[in-house]
């Protein structure tokens, strides 16, 4: 199949491209700056920005399936408008090019009024991409565990840098993190599962944890001791976001929207994908150990 990967310089895209090549697909990528992308052999590189529709047609010509792995939080405030505009441009160009399938990796979280701005924006991108005349597959994931994942980086740095943590009540929020290897297996697998075309699916790892359990486990793996966590009711997610700025090096534009989302449970409520794309799920501790090994080895991001 001829497959286009957008967001190929990103945490997920970087790993998806070699996996698609291994699966025997013809792969091309869309990147904003080709000098920052080290293309594997046999990968065609197109330069383009989804906020500039003119550059998208060449990349999408003769493409059977396209992955949309883009979010605009890296550009800071106003990411919702950029997310919406980018998705709209991409959907129009993919439709005009006659692409059969688009696959979007979105965020997990029960839909409702209390969704954070970040998760609302993911839902809006799903809706905008869904208007194109192709079959859209949406995979929704919570925190993806791997070296280079912004959300996992926050967890890792908080749990290893602070022996004592004063936290908001979100430490009791439930989360179902998933290993990057499993996300890649699902992303590649949906191409061979026609039943997934046109569907929205939730993907998650084998364990359901609270943020407190996740922070404790990561702290223990990294430092040999679990951080002492003291939840206090007065600390709002907004205040804790400023405090995360002091402890981690994840840029505020990315960290704040993610922290705002920590009040919402992000767990799988519908596991239909398991029978359509069988993936042997990686235990959380194994995923964390692999992420740390990769970071130590200096690979990936
Ligand atoms: N990481 C997680 O834990 C997680 C969890 C659930 C869902 N997701 C979703 O998975 C997808 C990929 O996430 P990620 O973690 O791989 O993100 P990432 O590492 O931040 O990568 C984002 C990618 O988007 C590209 N991009 C941004 N704006 C663009 C534009 N206007 N035109 C073209 N490309 C643009 C970036 O390119 P540049 O290199 O040019 O900036 C980069 O390649 C996102 O939709 C995200 O919401 C991620």
Q: Is the CB of residue 181 below 6 angstroms from any atom belonging to ligand 1?
A: no
Is it the case that residue 170 has pLDDT exceeding 80? Answer: no
The topology (CATH level 3) of 2-141 is Rossmann fold (3.40.50)
For all residues of the chain together, what is the average pLDDT?
Answer: 91
What is the domain partition of the chain in residue ranges? 2-141, 145-178+204-266+280-301
Q: Which pTM value belongs to this model?
A: 0.95
Q: Pairing between strand 209-210 and 144-145?
A: unpaired
Token pair for 295? 């970071």
Tell which atom from ligand 1 comes closest to the C-alpha of 150: 1
Q: Is the CB of residue 86 below 6 angstroms from any atom belonging to ligand 1?
A: yes
Q: Is the CB of residue 69 below 6 angstroms from any atom belonging to ligand 1?
A: yes
Percent of the chain at pLDDT > 90 equals 67
Cα of 72 vs centre of ligand 1, distance in Å, is: 7
Cα of 150 vs centre of ligand 1, distance in Å, is: 10
Q: CATH number of the domain at 145-178+204-266+280-301, please? A: 3.90.25
Give 258's pLDDT tier (boundaries 50, 70, 90): confident
* Mean pLDDT, residues 162-171 taken together: 76
In 3D space, the residue among 38, 10, 37, 40 whose CA is nearest the CA of residue 27 turns out to be 40
Q: Euclidean distance between the first and final Cα of the chain, in Å? A: 28
Q: Model confidence over 8-38: pLDDT tens digits?
A: 999 999 999 999 999 999 999 999 999 999 9
* Mean pLDDT, residues 109-127 taken together: 84
Q: Pairing between strand 65-68 and 101-107?
A: parallel
């Amino acid at each position: 199949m001829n497959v286009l990967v957008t967001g190929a310089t990103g945490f997920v895209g970087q790993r998806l491209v070699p996996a698609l090549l291994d699966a025997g697909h013809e792969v091309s990528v869309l990147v904003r700056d080709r000098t920052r992308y080290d293309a594997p052999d046999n990968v065609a590189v197109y330069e383009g920005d989804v906020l500039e529709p003119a550059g998208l047609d060449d990349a999408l010509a003769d493409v059977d399936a396209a992955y949309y792995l883009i979010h605009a939080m890296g550009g800071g405030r106003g990411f919702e408008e950029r997310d919406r505009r980018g998705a709209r441009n991409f959907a129009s160009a993919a439709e005009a090019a006659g692409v059969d399938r688009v696959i979007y990796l979105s965020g997990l979280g029960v839909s409702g009024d209390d969704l954070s701005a970040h998760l609302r924006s993911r839902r809006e991108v799903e809706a905008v991409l869904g208007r194109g005349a192709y079959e859209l597959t949406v995979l929704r994931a919570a925190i993806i565990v791997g070296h280079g994942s912004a959300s996992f980086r926050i967890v890792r740095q908080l749990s290893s840098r602070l022996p004592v943590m004063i936290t908001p009540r979100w430490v009791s929020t439930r989360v179902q993190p998933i290993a990057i290897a499993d996300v890649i297996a699902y992303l590649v697998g949906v191409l061979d599962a026609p039943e997934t075309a046109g569907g929205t699916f939730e993907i998650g790892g084998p364990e359901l944890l609270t943020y407190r359990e996740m922070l404790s486990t990561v702290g223990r793996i990294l430092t040999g001791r679990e951080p002492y966590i003291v939840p206090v009711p007065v600390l709002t997610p907004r205040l804790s976001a400023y405090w995360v700025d002091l402890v981690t090096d994840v840029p505020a534009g990315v960290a704040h929207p993610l922290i705002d989302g920590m009040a919402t449970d992000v767990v799988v409520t519908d596991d239909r994908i398991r029978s359509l794309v069988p993936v042997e799920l990686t235990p959380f501790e194994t995923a964390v150990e692999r992420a740390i090994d990769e970071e130590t080895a200096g690979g990936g991001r």
